[in-house]
Amino acid sequence: MKRLMLVMVTAVMSICLLGCGTSAKEIKLKSQSEKADVFREVIEGGPVPKGFVDMTIKASIKTHREGHYPLEPREQFHGNPDYPFLINVDGQAAIWKVDGSMDNIPPNDEKGRTSADPEAGPGVKYVLDKKIRIASGTHKIFFGLPAENFSKEFEVTLNEEKMYVLELKPLYREKVHPYRMPSFLEGIKEYEVFLNGVLVR
């Protein structure tokens, strides 16, 4: 019985490590630009040239504060400034580093019940908000969080003469004690992608 348990634990750990390794490898690869003329960041307003569109990219994540886990390496990004978000569009990469802010949503509501908000509790919130100018058409987008070994790839189609908001909303893993519910303290499970409020995938 012990031998069987050992084999099962080893197999699960191997799968997890393989998955993490694959994401880390993809993120490292996608952090390098193969092109430099796919998009540019828009700092100021102004008319959009014919054949192009402006798209605002929004993404967020809440993490535990620095030192929350005593054995976590000092080199980690959780709770620290310069949290990196990676975007790669059709081969052009950008890594935007974001300073977080303390965020403390009450863990209980006014009646003392445990909050169902997955971001309840003290932590650090990182919010990415960038606008890019890009040619109209269909584009392949790679979104990565190097600090989490998380990545996601999807396509969007952008029509000329429209403004777009691409929003990536975090879904967190579930904690199992004392209640089974999603919590930012368990890390990222997935991101939902919305283009102008419509679910992409």
Largest pairwise CA distance in the chain: 70
Backbone angles phi, psi at 4, to 5 degrees: -65, -45
pLDDT score, position 70: 60
- Alpha-carbon gap, residue 89 to 67, rounded angstroms: 35
Can you tell me whether residue 27 is helix, strand or coil? helix
Give the three-state DSSP class for 3: helix
> What are the tokens at 155?
């396509």
**pLDDT digits (tens), the chain, 201 positions:** 444 333 333 333 333 333 445 688 999 999 999 999 999 999 887 889 999 999 999 999 999 777 555 655 555 677 788 999 999 999 999 999 999 999 888 887 777 787 888 999 999 999 999 999 999 999 999 999 999 999 999 999 999 988 999 999 999 999 887 778 899 999 999 999 999 999 996
The pLDDT score that the predictor gives to residue 161 is 83
Q: How far apart are CA 136 and CA 54, in angstroms?
A: 9
Give the residue from 155, 156, 137 showing the smallest Cα distance to 52.
137
Q: What is the pLDDT of residue 111?
A: 76
